Structure 1
Amino acid sequence: MKISKILYKPVGFGVGALSGMAASAVFGQVWKRLGRDDEAPSPTDEQRGWGEVLLAAALQGAIFAVVKASVERGGATATRRFTGAWPD
């Protein structure tokens, strides 16, 4: 196994957890700026309609995917700078 891959794994786990927290905070701010309630609806919230629940889920998924890809790409780039090899 390549050294770059070995070094990248523990860093990737830690950064992944942080990126999840960051994505959650970003989603919360975006949801508030859309003029919605302070909290996004839960899928089981009887008081919210299908449209609002699905909009929140789609928006949250998109934000998480972009943050995750950005963080992973940044981590791989940093690993290459540190080790000289791209983590496969």
Structure 2
Amino acid sequence: MNAVKIAYKPFGMLLGAGGGALAGAAFQRVWKATGHEEDAPEATDQDRAWREVLLAAALQGAIFAAVKAAVDRGGATTVHRLTGTWPS
């Protein structure tokens, strides 16, 4: 493993944490904008229907996956531009 890949690990972890926070905020905004209550339902929320729980989970998963991919790709691209090495 070369030095760029080793140095990228902590950078990637910070990007991941920031991306998670960004994805959570994006999901909350999308959930509210679609006319739902302020908080998305938990899987164990007895007062929520299966449909609503599964919709929230699917939407949250899609948003988290898209934000993670964008953050990871952006970080890798930035490292490649700065160092000339792709941090895979």
Instruction: Give your verdict on TM over 0.5.
Output: yes
Is 2:72 the counterpart of 1:72?
A: yes
Give me the TM-score of the superposition, normalised by structure 2.
Answer: 0.97
1:84 paired with 2:76, answer: no
Measure the CA separation in 2 of the matches of 1:81 and 1:6: 17
TM-score (norm 1): 0.97
Structure 1: stretches of 5+ with no match in the other structure: none
TM-superposed CA distance for 1:83, in Å, is 1.1
Q: Distance in 2 between matches of 1:50 and 1:68?
A: 27
Moved more, 54-63 or 1-10: 1-10
> Unaligned stretches of 5+ in structure 2?
none
Partner deviation per Cα, 1:17-70 (whole Å, 9 max, x = no partner): 010000000000000000000000011110000000000000000000000000
Moved over 2 A (4+): none
